[in-house]
Structure 1
Amino acid sequence: MATAEVERRRSKLAALSFAAVVIFLGIPLWWRTTTTYRAWLPVSQIQELAKLKLLLSAEVEVVFARGTLTAEQQKKIPLTRTHDEEHAVDGKTSLTYRYETRYRTATVMEEDALNTLNAAETDLSLHTLSESPCGSLVVYVIPESSLLLPQDVDVYVGQRRTALLRGAAQTSGVRTLAEVLAGLEPQVKRVLRVMSFSHGDIMAALGDRVHLGPGSRQSEADSMRAFKSSPGYEIIFSLLNPDPKSHQLYWDIEGAVQSYIQPLLSKLGPVANFSVDSQTLHYSMLGVNARFDSDRGAYTLAADSLAHVINPVEARLGSNAASSDPVLNFLLYVPDSQHSPLHILDRKKRAVASNAFHSPRWGGIMVYNVDGFYGKETPLPVDIDINMAEVMGVFLAQLRLLLGVQPSTPPPGFLVSPPGITGLADWELDRLMWSRSVENIATATTTITSLAQLLDQIGNIVINDNIARQVSSAVSSLQLALAELEAGNLGFALQYSKEAILASERAFFDPSLLHLLYFPDDQKFAIYIPLFLPICLPILMSLLGIMSDMRRKRRDKQAKKD
């Protein structure tokens, strides 16, 4: 009996030992090794970013030239004034524009620059005296009788970040300084709407995040024409020669790019990186049959048929498959001798002066006619040197539109200086940087919040440490970009916004997110139960036997006491 009792006790201890190992070691180990790894994410900060609060701050310096203020008024000039404009957008986005205006009188050297009779020379001289930081403006108020501006011009906008504003007539003792500043404020606001960010541009930059109202149709159309913000762009210039037997074409594309395109791309360096390629394609047709117009004595392409030109040509263009950057295509098409000259007509059946058109978010096409070179006795092929100045002038204008340099019609009384050899004025670059910064912030915020919602809804998606680092980097860059916009540091804000959109896209498109997306918990239990059930069933039966034996002994003891 003693031996049987010992064996029974030993079997109980063995069953309990196996049960303890399974319960306290096996099950936690199995649960740990089969649980989807999910690194920590800054969810609370992402939720705060979901309610995007944009505060754009611009510094404006108003400089009074001699003759615009009296001596008494000059002593009372306020140092700084801050003006906020709040715009209600929707429940998730708020916009506030802050203008910090500083007032001062012109220095002696600035007065010498303002005493010239050429506004362009004055603009250059003022730029060399005090170069304004990125995103800021300087408005020089000149006397009403000044000959620096034509009589019908009230505001001159230069190539830099300066503007000349004709002040109102000033008579000593007639107007107080407060009245002068109050009368000047609407004029300064008009200058800001031309040279700095505008509400329409910012709303268009926000894209699908907000609904553009009826008053923003033009900005919406401009934003749909331009390429979306990207860290880099690939520009390809293509020469299409449909009939090499008729003419041999020569174009100095390398020299033309260096002379006309590269200055603009160098100035756009803070916005994005650019790569430029060129190619010549023989026997390439437009794919649309031109019609002969007897009244014009030329072949024509109607505006309705231009949309059908892109697809046949695009199949032969090609691009760098190793790059994910958007491609901007610029095509120079030289018609063959049988369809020359060829003119492009607008919707009113008028010939387009540039003989070119552009396709939104794709590129541009220009038709280059050489009909004057053909004759009955002209030996073929005819050697033709293409006028690259004419061609690049058209492509440069199209490139500005496709990159988001929005054309702005100046208000009455404004005279805007041409952008110069760089093809882009400093204040135009600032407007583009404002829009790109806001667009990058809105896109990165949408990407990060969408990723956080996706990870919260699907618990089987793996969140590895690399994704967590990218998400944290994106959140940190977004916070810094918003802070720099608020401080008016446009250059830093754009840089941080670019880092944010890169980090957010790397996290969102990480391939590891799909590893366990189609391996839910029910499949996990279906796989492991057939393995664990044969092992756990004997242990469970032994535990039930031990519990039954313990209850029986407890009843026997209770019966003896009774």
Structure 2
Amino acid sequence: MREEETPLNLRTSVTARYETAYRSATAQEEAALALGTVQEADAALLPLQDGLLGSLTVYIVPEASSLLPQGVSVYIGKHRSAVVRGPPAAGDVLTAVNAQVRHIAQTMSFTPDSIAAALSDRVPLDKLGLDTRRPFKSSLGYEITFSLLNPDPKSHDVRWDIEAAVRGYVQPFLDKLSFVANFTVDSQILYYAMLGVTPRFDKDSSSFLLSAHSLPHVINPVEARLGSSAASLFPVLNFLLYVPERAHSPLYIQDRDGALVKTNAFHSPRWGGIMVYNVKHPAADEAPLPLRVDVDMVQVMEVFLAQLRLLFGISRAPLPREFLVENPGNTGLAAWELDCLLWARTVENVATVSTTLTSLAELLDKIGNIVIKDDVASEVYRAVAAVQQALGELAAGRLGAAFQASKEAVTSSERAFFDPSLLHLLYFPDDQKFAIYIPLFLPMAVPLLLSLAKMLREAGRRGKEPAKAD
């Protein structure tokens, strides 16, 4: 048993507990580890594991084993297992690989960075990096909108098979995340939609360039045309495919060092991503206008899927050269990455419930002679009980049950805070309205004003924080 404490501020810290058990491999596991490739072994080992969320199995193979490629000492698979090459000399094998096993556990579980991202509201601002502020906050639901921007329909007749692309790339990813939240996906095509930033013409390359410092100014003019967030009850993730107008083609994105971004895309924290899709124009008068453009959706969705991972806080820290991490494929999410996300979301949900109930208690404490309805009291009790259950399940290593309890706690706390009966306190007879209305309304308006201020800060932050080229 090993514990690691991560302090966030003077009053908040998170303790991670790692429990390790050792055993010999079974005959079936040895047969799987004797297969030709480590990818085949990873697939064969999957049905032999208990499959518990948050669990991890590390297999140690002899130093001379050909299972791992040359120069690779650690392999992390798509599921919840890893393979480690044993030491060259006989001796205490477990002691020899202890450092590698600890590195594997930190990579495939709850890291200090993910803790800081999950509880960013409680971390001092000077300790928050861009990676910490990038992911969306925990929510019971999300809306994903794919938008095709065609500013020059007279020159470009753009076709994209977004339905098939979503089925092939996005839906498998969302199916794995269905345990986390509910998702809705929609798409739209916007004509004559401009980025709002005039690109710079580069004579040497005969192309147009968008520099890194201009990227934050691209989003706000476009956002006004999207319209998806206006009526949404949940956070909206925007993914924009921009086909440059003929007069500004080809258009490329530069990073901070002036180099061209390979994906020709960038993303903005807690908002979404934009990809520039250039069209190869034939020589003048060789093709009638508008030119038909069939978008390569494989190229596009690979970029959007990578951005989607980052916006959910699914990223991988740099690893030593001798580490090999398997690509999750079209699903976009390894099983152990889902575990990391559930850990982060569970802790974040518990913190959210704590903040919500504390705000509710402070609000009601400021209002004298108030009668709390049984419905509100019941929701508060449910929220507290669910938080206690979530913490207990976490301590017992039952990650799935802990996350579900934390979601129930969030739901109950929000129902208590926004119960309609509290709004009824705003009605009084005409002869008492001026005497009581103002002092009661102001405390109840505080959470709404704070929410509005937060929305304004996040909107302004998109103009201040640099977008990150992918």
Q: Which TM-score band (shorter chain)?
A: 0.7 to 0.9
Residue type at the aligned position of 1:470: E
Query: What displacement does 1:486 show?
Result: 0.7
Does residue 222 of structure 2 align to residue 222 of structure 1? no
> Aligned to 1:372, what secondary structure does the other structure show?
coil
Structure 1 match to 2:381: 472
Query: Following superposition of structure 1 onto structure 2, how do residues 494-505 of structure 1 map, counting pairs within 5 Å?
Result: 494-505=403-414
Structure 2 match to 1:138: 57
Distance 2:116 2:229 in 1: 33
Does residue 357 of structure 2 align to residue 444 of structure 1? no
Output one character per residue of 1:491-523: Cα deviation in whole Å (capped at 9) or x when no partner: 11111111111221222233432443697xx96
- Choose 379-388 or 406-415, whichever is displaced more: 406-415
Output one character per residue of 1:75-116: Cα deviation in whole Å (capped at 9) or x when no partner: xxxxxxx22334455564343222221111111111111112
The match for 1:120 among 18, 34, 39 is: 39
Output one character per residue of 1:30-73: Cα deviation in whole Å (capped at 9) or x when no partner: xxxxxxxxxxxxxxxxxxxxxxxxxxxxxxxxxxxxxxxxxxxx
Residue type at the aligned position of 2:43: L
Distance 2:315 2:347 in 1: 15
C-alpha distance 121-164 of structure 1, shift in aligned 2 (>3 A):
same
Structure 2 match to 1:150: 69
Structure 1 match to 2:98: 185
Contact persistence 2:349–2:406 (CA under 8 A): yes
C-alpha distance 284-185 of structure 1, shift in aligned 2 (>3 A):
same
- Choose 403-412 or 134-143, whichever is displaced more: 403-412
Distance 1:476 1:231 in 2: 19
> Aligned to 2:261, what secondary structure does the other structure show?
coil
Query: Following superposition of structure 1 onto structure 2, how do residues 119-518 of structure 1 map, counting pairs within 5 Å?
Result: 119-171=38-90, 175=91, 179-211=92-124, 217=128, 220-319=129-228, 321-373=230-282, 375-516=284-425
Query: What displacement does 1:323 show?
Result: 3.3
Query: What displacement does 1:421 show?
Result: 2.1
Residue type at the aligned position of 1:483: G
Residue type at the aligned position of 2:364: L
Residue type at the aligned position of 1:141: I
Q: How many residues align?
A: 435
Distance 1:114 1:508 in 2: 54
Output one character per residue of 1:121-142: Cα deviation in whole Å (capped at 9) or x when no partner: 1111111332521110000011
> Aligned to 1:459, what secondary structure does the other structure show?
coil
TM value normalised by structure 1:
0.73
Structure 2 match to 1:537: none
Distance 2:419 2:364 in 1: 13
Residue type at the aligned position of 1:240: L
C-alpha distance 332-91 of structure 1, shift in aligned 2 (>3 A):
closer
Contact persistence 1:132–1:138 (CA under 8 A): no
Residue type at the aligned position of 1:419: P
> Aligned to 2:238, what secondary structure does the other structure show?
strand
Query: What displacement does 1:210 show?
Result: 4.2
> Aligned to 1:278, what secondary structure does the other structure show?
strand
Residue type at the aligned position of 2:46: H
Residue type at the aligned position of 1:300: L
> Aligned to 2:148, what secondary structure does the other structure show?
strand
> Aligned to 1:258, what secondary structure does the other structure show?
helix
Structure 1: gaps (5+ residues): 1-81, 528-562
Distance 2:282 2:403 in 1: 50
Distance 1:459 1:91 in 2: 33
Distance 1:280 1:460 in 2: 55
RMSD: 2.3
- Choose 91-100 or 408-417, whichever is displaced more: 91-100
Distance 2:265 2:237 in 1: 15
Distance 1:347 1:255 in 2: 35
Distance 1:380 1:212 in 2: 52
- Choose 96-105 or 157-166, whichever is displaced more: 96-105
Distance 2:259 2:10 in 1: 47
Query: What displacement does 1:391 show?
Result: 0.6
Distance 1:155 1:488 in 2: 25
Contact persistence 2:8–2:122 (CA under 8 A): no
Query: What displacement does 1:317 show?
Result: 0.7
Query: What displacement does 1:371 show?
Result: 2.8
Contact persistence 2:86–2:93 (CA under 8 A): no
Distance 1:485 1:212 in 2: 28
Contact persistence 2:160–2:295 (CA under 8 A): yes
Contact persistence 2:252–2:261 (CA under 8 A): yes
Structure 2 match to 1:95: 14
C-alpha distance 381-270 of structure 1, shift in aligned 2 (>3 A):
same
Query: What displacement does 1:250 show?
Result: 0.8
Residue type at the aligned position of 2:12: T
Does residue 55 of structure 2 align to residue 105 of structure 1? no
Distance 1:375 1:271 in 2: 52
Structure 2 match to 1:5: none
Residue type at the aligned position of 1:194: T
Query: What displacement does 1:213 show?
Result: 7.8
Structure 2: gaps (5+ residues): 437-470
Output one character per residue of 1:515-547: Cα deviation in whole Å (capped at 9) or x when no partner: 43697xx969x89xxxxxxxxxxxxxxxxxxxx
Query: Following superposition of structure 1 onto structure 2, how do residues 67-106 of structure 1 map, counting pairs within 5 Å?
Result: 82-89=1-8, 92-106=11-25
Output one character per residue of 1:357-399: Cα deviation in whole Å (capped at 9) or x when no partner: 1111111111111033453231111111111001111111111
Contact persistence 1:207–1:439 (CA under 8 A): no
Distance 2:272 2:7 in 1: 35
Distance 1:249 1:160 in 2: 39
Distance 2:198 2:7 in 1: 51
Contact persistence 2:144–2:236 (CA under 8 A): yes
> Aligned to 1:353, what secondary structure does the other structure show?
coil
Identical amino acids, percent of aligned pairs: 59
C-alpha distance 203-383 of structure 1, shift in aligned 2 (>3 A):
closer
TM value normalised by structure 2:
0.87
C-alpha distance 91-363 of structure 1, shift in aligned 2 (>3 A):
closer
